[in-house]
């Protein structure tokens, strides 16, 4: 069983003792997920969009969601879709 410390560098160092390639992969993926978390975290801290809203309420919901995703660009979109729909393997 591999340890997973709150200190990222310590975790990578521990993993490298077992398998250097796995440690590098963990390091890369963990850092990327933390970068992407800035887009996902707000969704977990507020009510989900009301997909049944009508009229002005629907426009308001659309603007709120758009405000959360409008800054996502290029590779970040690809990585988010891959993360949300892909295998952890």
**Tens-digit pLDDT profile for residues 64-83:** 888 888 888 888 888 888 88
CA-based nearest residue to 39, from 75, 87, 89: 75
The answer, yes or no, to whether residue 89 has pLDDT greater than 70, is no
Residue 2 lies in a domain: no
In a domain, 81, yes or no: yes
What would the pLDDT profile of 42-59 be if each residue is shown by its tens digit? Answer: 878 888 889 999 999 999
Over range 19-40, report the average pLDDT.
90
pLDDT at 10 over 70: yes
Residues 47/65, Cβ–Cβ less than 8 Å: no
Say how far apart CA 20 and CA 26 lie, in whole Å.
10
Domain membership of residue 3 (yes or no) is no
Enclosing domain of residue 15: 8-85
Count of domains forming the chain: 1
Q: Is residue 29 part of a domain?
A: yes
Q: Is residue 1 part of a domain?
A: no
Backbone conformation region of residue 74, classed left if phi is above 0, alpha if psi is from -120 to 50, else beta: left
């Amino acid at each position: 069983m591999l340890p997973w410390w709150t200190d990222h560098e310590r975790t990578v160092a521990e993993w490298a003792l077992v398998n250097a390639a796995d440690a590098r992969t963990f390091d890369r993926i963990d850092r990327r997920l933390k970068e992407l978390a800035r887009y996902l975290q707000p969704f977990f801290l507020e009510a989900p969009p009301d997909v049944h809203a009508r009229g002005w309420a629907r426009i308001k919901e659309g603007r709120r969601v758009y405000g959360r995703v409008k800054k996502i660009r290029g590779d970040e979109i690809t990585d988010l879709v891959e993360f949300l729909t892909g295998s952890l393997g």
